[in-house]
Structure 1
Amino acid sequence: MISSILLAASGVAALLFAYFLTNSIDKESDGNDRMREIAGYIQQGAMAFLQREYKYLAFFIVFVAIVIGFFISIPTAICFVVGAVFSILAGFFGMKVAVKSNVRTAEAAKKGQQKALNIAFSGGAVMGMSVVGLGVIGIGVLAIIFNFDSDILTGFGLGASSIALFARVGGGIYTKAADVGADLVGKLEAGIPEDDPRNPAVIADNVGDNVGDVAGMGADLFESYVGAIISAITLGAIAFEGSEGVGFPMLLAAAGVIASIIGALIVRSSKAENPQRALDAGTYVSGVILVICAAVLGYITFGDFKAFAAVAIGLIVGLAIGKITEVYTSADYESVKEVARQSETGSATTIISGLAVGMKSTMFPILLISVGILMSYFILGGASNATMGLYGISLAAVGMLSTTGIVVSVDAYGPIADNAGGIAEMAGLPHEVRNITDKLDSVGNTTAAIGKGFAIGSAALTALALFASYAQAVNLSVIDILSPTTLVGVLIGAMLPFLYGALTMESVGRAANQMVNEVRRQFKEIPGIMEGETVPDYGTCIDISTTAALKEMILPGILAIAIPLGVGVLLGAEALGGLIGGAISSGVLLAILMSNAGAAWDNSKKYIESGVHGGKNSPAHKAGIVGDTVGDPFKDTAGPALNILIKLMTIVAVVFAPMIVEFGGLLLKILN
């Protein structure tokens, strides 16, 4: 009881801090009339998309809640609704403040980099604190209400995962349809700069940064965060007769919230000239605080440092994956420079080298995750006590995600800085202002890539922890890979991330095609656009992205829930376990490949723009734009969606485990 109260209290502290940050941002100047006009377009487009998306999701939430209430239990259905609503609220709060912060960041850049960094980061921190605050309040309060019944609490995780999928897919399709359309016609065909106000798709592109990279990423890590905590609670209840197994992950999460708040305060007070150094300082201080708290809490709770070791392993693996992601995606390192060099010989070699970087970048994260799994498993239990070993894996996942507050804050800072640069360009602010916003944006590209790497690593550990919870729920101690039904499950599971990636990539392609045709039409039919005498029709482009995103997100969302349930009901619990194992294996690899290849293409283009290999408008630059255009849906739509896919399918299996046990294997019964 005390642990859940402390958990909820830490969530309240996070929300109060978010409120304080919001007030501080509101007090800053939002610039001149032109800046306010542009920011108004972005804000209206972003909020209009969210409102329409939430109307769609309302029907989905009600339908799934009825199904859960009928087949599982009413309390689980209530938790599902709360998880879905809290995920929606986190995205809404975070994005509402993000679209306020972008114009204020651009205005603050007139006074210097430090002021602009402070506002951009504060805007991102509202998203970060909303994610962890609502997550731990939901778990803490529901745990008290439903007497720490972990089977019921899994409904909260399912609600969070369901909304995350739609937010990630819908937001990703929106932003990349606009981005690809703006780049192909604006940069390649018309030869005008990025964020040029003459481009009709430029406002939709800026809106997309918010709905995809702020609300989408927030929802992604919200569901990883609550999923890891709930999995640790579930396995802790099984591994220990007392309450210590349940209480420790709650106390750890509460400590992580406080550590994230302290880290955010350090970033805000930093005087470092390098923005990356300021962001790193907050991240590392949060990690150190968490490690100390984990050691103290682990010893007090269990009388030894084994639990602390598992937590530390998860945290170290998360930080290491972030650093490795930076090595493969930052222009400071050789991989991106090689992609830029290959661009000198055309688009084909750009694509080839970027794919090679993505493929190579899978090795070290997978090895790190594997080492983390083995060490956390054997430190706590191992072969002598498999349940304790699985609990160790879940603690590693909680350790990796305990500082989610600061991770999301740093990640959400990126799109705000990007938008600030766009507003500075469209409003015709002085060149030195754009230099500052470009520097902040450049750091933001790296933090976004690191955030995606963190999201992938946390998705793998969270999915494995939830997989362990599923195995316990259906009494699976081993899965026979030689069983034909299990093998079928593995193959279907391994295929799903590729199918899912294809569906989301095709969705972006169709939406981008509409956007390209609309931008071309406006350039051709509306006189005075290229001369800057006529304002383009931004609204039509915004509507194209909005309509396409909402339409295209439905099928992937339904499949992610329907396929695991179908396999479980038709082929049984073991086949569903095989499906989850196959999906995790291929999904994590494909997500890393797509995310890092896309980021490498993006940053190689920016590296060329800095003046190397011919600079802007050179053949290498045009090849780099093609690579970036291909990479956009890779890194911002398909790749991130795979993180959620593997977690959502796993938590669907956990929630519906009682139904699978009772009704599973119908096809086998018919065949036999």
Structure 2
Amino acid sequence: MNLIIAPIIGVVALLYAYYKAVTINKVDVGNERMREISGYIHEGAMAFLSREYRTLLIFAAILFIILGVGIGWTTAICFLVGAAFSALAGFFGMQVATKANVRTANAAKDGGMNKALSVAFSGGAVMGMAVVGLGIIGVAGLYLIFNDITIVTGFSLGASSIALFGRVGGGIYTKAADVGADLVGKVEAGIPEDDPRNPAVIADNVGDNVGDVAGMGADLFESYVGSIISAITLGLIAFGDEGALFPLMLAAVGIVSSIAGTFFVKGNEGTNPQKSLDMGTNVSAIIVIVAAYFLSVSILGTARPFAAIITGLLVGIIIAKITEYYTSTEYAPVKQIADQSNTGPATTIISGLAVGMGSTAMPIIVLAIGILVAFYVSGGSADAAQGLYGIALAAVGMLSTAGMTIAVDAYGPIADNAGGIAEMCELPPEVREITDQLDAVGNTTAAIGKGFAIGSAALTALALFASYTQVVGLSVINLTQPTVIAGLFVGGMLPFLFSSITMQAVGKAAFSMIEEVRRQFREIPGIMEGKGTPEYKKCVDISTTAALREMVIPGLLAVIVPVLIGLLLGKEALGGLLAGALVTGVLMAIMMANAGGAWDNAKKFIEGGEHGGKGSEAHKAAVVGDTVGDPFKDTSGPSINILIKLMTIVALVFGPLIAEFGGMLIK
């Protein structure tokens, strides 16, 4: 079986994404007002992306030179390709998402649920196919060119670097706008969400695309790439060239299965869109399961790797279901937060934090069991290399249907934007009912997607960590060594420091947004009567400037600290740092994502008519909870996923340098 098949399948994914984009462009945009509002959102999103990429160009150029001089110019070239592909995936996804939103709203008006779901999901599918297509073309193509996986790790570093900046920058942007729009619009002015009188409403809708389409796509792009590269690295040790071929073929089959799954996403009037999305996801998973068995037997001559892949898929599904339990309005945790909102914001915050903290237990237990099962079913008791390879394959298995997973996730913000456009353009109530139903499903898929991203991040980081130990020749991390303990503590601290910086960034940006919205309400005549036009662009500019300014320090932290610890204290201390960051990072990510999702849906639960409904004291308390939860679930939480993976890939890429020169402070 030839490696060339993998990049060819990647090209097929890109062609399918192009076909979906062309299909979306043929859908009618709607009336002039819809064109105008959609134009504001598209212009704001693309302007942010353009300014963000110009900023990141400086970072990429500096790191390119450092890599070229310190590691090798071929690795540096791979880094640039990874950064460029990650940026391209975000650009393609954002371009189409900001066109699909208005077409989804118009489709809901003219064609009902089925047509609206089709347009929104097609927009998400473009993002999904762009991510997996560019990912497999990059990894497989560079591996074919250089035939050295240690060089190709540069590609993963490029993807991870852009992903972290994209997630942090996008998260700061979207939450600054969201918090400003909610606190001044909903709580102070008493106007509905997505009301065109709110000056921050366009920035809020732009933020949905910046954070939840481009940011999320970049997050899973680097997880996807990182899992394949770590599996190739460990596969070469365990099975030779066949061990490298297997994860690439598995990823290729996953792309084909994801494309097949998209044909099963069809909505009918009166049915829950969630069932249709679940059908597409399940079909993709079944195809991968069947194909993985035959690939495992034919390429590696054993079914053991297949068992590890099944383990990864099951871990992903179970964590997604646990996440749904803690964040859906259907279950007790969210209802308990809504109940606590009757006694004010303080009890809302307390109950939300309790739900978030409690929600870490089951996913961690499932992850721990999954790691043990993947290791031992792969033959780890007899051959540790095969066991570690099994863990890496579990991550690849979980991400094999990433094309479909990302499509379902990216569908959410498109549906959310469609609802906002319907509100701002005063479309008939039945249109808003359809978009609200699509959006409600989108909230659940987004929460599940975050759980999936956290689980895949943990397995990917662990696999990359195993690859790091192989590169630097580290067989044991001795916890009696003071340097290892020092590294462990510093690593454990980093996710907290990182979250503090990103939370404060949202707070500062939101403060500026709130002041600007208040100023416009105060100074623009007739704005509350609908006669004055808000200055939307000023709010968009506040979010853009704040996001670009505040994303720099967290991004540099993830790159500089691992190299610094490795050079000063040695490879063992760096191993301790990575272990500490992995443990606390996964816990923090789960807690923040689930607490934020639960607060958000507790607010929506009350808005549905419970506890007095909109405008009640319980609703005001729930809005405060949601405001706290916004940066939890959309800025800091998802960014931690990338933090732990980026630090590990930095250690892997700079591993040869650290192995040779590390420990300067203690020598």
TM-score, normalised to structure 1's length?
0.98
Q: 2:138 maps to what in 1?
A: 138
Mapping of 1:259-408 within 5 angstroms? 259-268=257-266, 273-408=271-406
Q: CA deviation at 1:239?
A: 1.4
SS in 1 for 2:263: helix
Instruction: Please tell me whether the aligned partners of residues 3 and 251 of structure 1 are also in contact (alpha carbons under 8 angstroms).
Output: no
SS in 2 for 1:4: coil
| 1:521 matches 2:523 | no
SS in 2 for 1:384: coil
Take 1:268 and 1:22, find their aligned partners in 2: how far apart are those partners?
18
Mapping of 1:268-667 within 5 angstroms? 268=266, 273-667=271-665
Q: 1:41 maps to what in 2?
A: 40
SS in 2 for 1:613: helix
Q: CA deviation at 1:304?
A: 2.2
Judged with a 3 Å threshold, the aligned counterparts in structure 2 of structure 1 residues 438 and 83 are, in CA distance, closer, same or farther, namely same
Q: 2:71 maps to what in 1?
A: 72
| 1:178 matches 2:177 | yes
Q: 2:15 maps to what in 1?
A: 16
Take 2:302 and 2:597, find their aligned partners in 1: how far apart are those partners?
42
Percent identity over the alignment is 66
Instruction: Please tell me whether the aligned partners of residues 232 and 244 of structure 2 are also in contact (alpha carbons under 8 angstroms).
Output: yes
Take 1:570 and 1:583, find their aligned partners in 2: how far apart are those partners?
18
User: CA-to-partner distance for each residue in 1:168-203, whole Å, 9 max, x for gaps?
Assistant: 000000000000000010000000000000000000
Instruction: Please tell me whether the aligned partners of residues 3 and 250 of structure 1 are also in contact (alpha carbons under 8 angstroms).
Output: no
Q: 2:123 maps to what in 1?
A: 123
- The residue type paired with residue 609 of structure 1 is E
C-alpha RMSD of matched pairs (Å): 0.9
Structure 1 runs (4+) deviating above 6 angstroms are 269-272
- The residue type paired with residue 133 of structure 1 is G
Take 2:526 and 2:311, find their aligned partners in 1: how far apart are those partners?
60
Q: 1:236 maps to what in 2?
A: 235
Take 1:138 and 1:270, find their aligned partners in 2: how far apart are those partners?
38
User: CA-to-partner distance for each residue in 1:526-576, whole Å, 9 max, x for gaps?
Assistant: 111000001100000000000000000000000100000100000000000
Take 1:269 and 1:607, find their aligned partners in 2: how far apart are those partners?
24
SS in 1 for 2:665: helix
Q: CA deviation at 1:302?
A: 2.2
Q: 2:216 maps to what in 1?
A: 217
Q: CA deviation at 1:268?
A: 4.4
Q: CA deviation at 1:401?
A: 0.5
Instruction: Please tell me whether the aligned partners of residues 315 and 399 of structure 1 are also in contact (alpha carbons under 8 angstroms).
Output: yes
Take 2:283 and 2:226, find their aligned partners in 1: how far apart are those partners?
25
Q: CA deviation at 1:226?
A: 0.3
Take 1:502 and 1:267, find their aligned partners in 2: how far apart are those partners?
40
| 1:93 matches 2:92 | yes
Q: CA deviation at 1:6?
A: 1.1
Instruction: Please tell me whether the aligned partners of residues 117 and 267 of structure 2 are also in contact (alpha carbons under 8 angstroms).
Output: no
Q: CA deviation at 1:383?
A: 3.8
Q: CA deviation at 1:303?
A: 2.3
Q: CA deviation at 1:3?
A: 4.0
SS in 2 for 1:523: helix
- The residue type paired with residue 262 of structure 2 is A
Take 2:526 and 2:269, find their aligned partners in 1: how far apart are those partners?
46
Q: CA deviation at 1:360?
A: 1.0
Higher mean C-alpha displacement, 29-38 vs 260-269 = 260-269
Take 2:374 and 2:419, find their aligned partners in 1: how far apart are those partners?
43
User: CA-to-partner distance for each residue in 1:315-360, whole Å, 9 max, x for gaps?
Assistant: 1100111111001000011111111111111101111111111111
- The residue type paired with residue 145 of structure 1 is I
Take 1:639 and 1:380, find their aligned partners in 2: how far apart are those partners?
32
Instruction: Please tell me whether the aligned partners of residues 272 and 278 of structure 1 are also in contact (alpha carbons under 8 angstroms).
Output: no
Q: CA deviation at 1:381?
A: 2.8
Instruction: Please tell me whether the aligned partners of residues 175 and 207 of structure 1 are also in contact (alpha carbons under 8 angstroms).
Output: yes
Instruction: Please tell me whether the aligned partners of residues 325 and 596 of structure 1 are also in contact (alpha carbons under 8 angstroms).
Output: yes
Gaps of 5+ in 2: none
- The residue type paired with residue 200 of structure 1 is P
Q: CA deviation at 1:271?
A: 7.8
Take 1:640 and 1:421, find their aligned partners in 2: how far apart are those partners?
24
Instruction: Please tell me whether the aligned partners of residues 121 and 268 of structure 1 are also in contact (alpha carbons under 8 angstroms).
Output: no
User: CA-to-partner distance for each residue in 1:41-83, whole Å, 9 max, x for gaps?
Assistant: 0000000000000100111111101111101111111110000
Take 1:265 and 1:61, find their aligned partners in 2: how far apart are those partners?
39
Instruction: Please tell me whether the aligned partners of residues 112 and 269 of structure 2 are also in contact (alpha carbons under 8 angstroms).
Output: no
Take 1:3 and 1:538, find their aligned partners in 2: how far apart are those partners?
53
Instruction: Please tell me whether the aligned partners of residues 105 and 419 of structure 2 are also in contact (alpha carbons under 8 angstroms).
Output: yes
Q: CA deviation at 1:384?
A: 2.9
Instruction: Please tell me whether the aligned partners of residues 53 and 550 of structure 1 are also in contact (alpha carbons under 8 angstroms).
Output: yes
TM-score, normalised to structure 2's length?
0.99
Judged with a 3 Å threshold, the aligned counterparts in structure 2 of structure 1 residues 4 and 268 are, in CA distance, closer, same or farther, namely farther
Q: CA deviation at 1:587?
A: 0.2
Instruction: Please tell me whether the aligned partners of residues 172 and 543 of structure 2 are also in contact (alpha carbons under 8 angstroms).
Output: yes
Take 1:629 and 1:538, find their aligned partners in 2: how far apart are those partners?
21
Instruction: Please tell me whether the aligned partners of residues 308 and 377 of structure 2 are also in contact (alpha carbons under 8 angstroms).
Output: yes
Q: CA deviation at 1:17?
A: 0.7
Q: CA deviation at 1:305?
A: 1.1
Q: 1:28 maps to what in 2?
A: 27
Q: CA deviation at 1:235?
A: 0.6
Q: CA deviation at 1:379?
A: 1.4
- The residue type paired with residue 67 of structure 1 is I
Q: CA deviation at 1:272?
A: 8.0
Take 2:584 and 2:501, find their aligned partners in 1: how far apart are those partners?
16
Instruction: Please tell me whether the aligned partners of residues 165 and 645 of structure 1 are also in contact (alpha carbons under 8 angstroms).
Output: yes
Instruction: Please tell me whether the aligned partners of residues 186 and 199 of structure 1 are also in contact (alpha carbons under 8 angstroms).
Output: yes
Judged with a 3 Å threshold, the aligned counterparts in structure 2 of structure 1 residues 507 and 195 are, in CA distance, closer, same or farther, namely same
Instruction: Please tell me whether the aligned partners of residues 501 and 638 of structure 1 are also in contact (alpha carbons under 8 angstroms).
Output: yes
User: CA-to-partner distance for each residue in 1:450-479, whole Å, 9 max, x for gaps?
Assistant: 000000000000000000000000111110
- The residue type paired with residue 134 of structure 1 is L
Q: CA deviation at 1:9?
A: 1.1
Take 1:311 and 1:52, find their aligned partners in 2: how far apart are those partners?
40
Instruction: Please tell me whether the aligned partners of residues 113 and 267 of structure 2 are also in contact (alpha carbons under 8 angstroms).
Output: no
Q: CA deviation at 1:520?
A: 0.3
Instruction: Please tell me whether the aligned partners of residues 182 and 199 of structure 1 are also in contact (alpha carbons under 8 angstroms).
Output: yes
SS in 2 for 1:413: helix
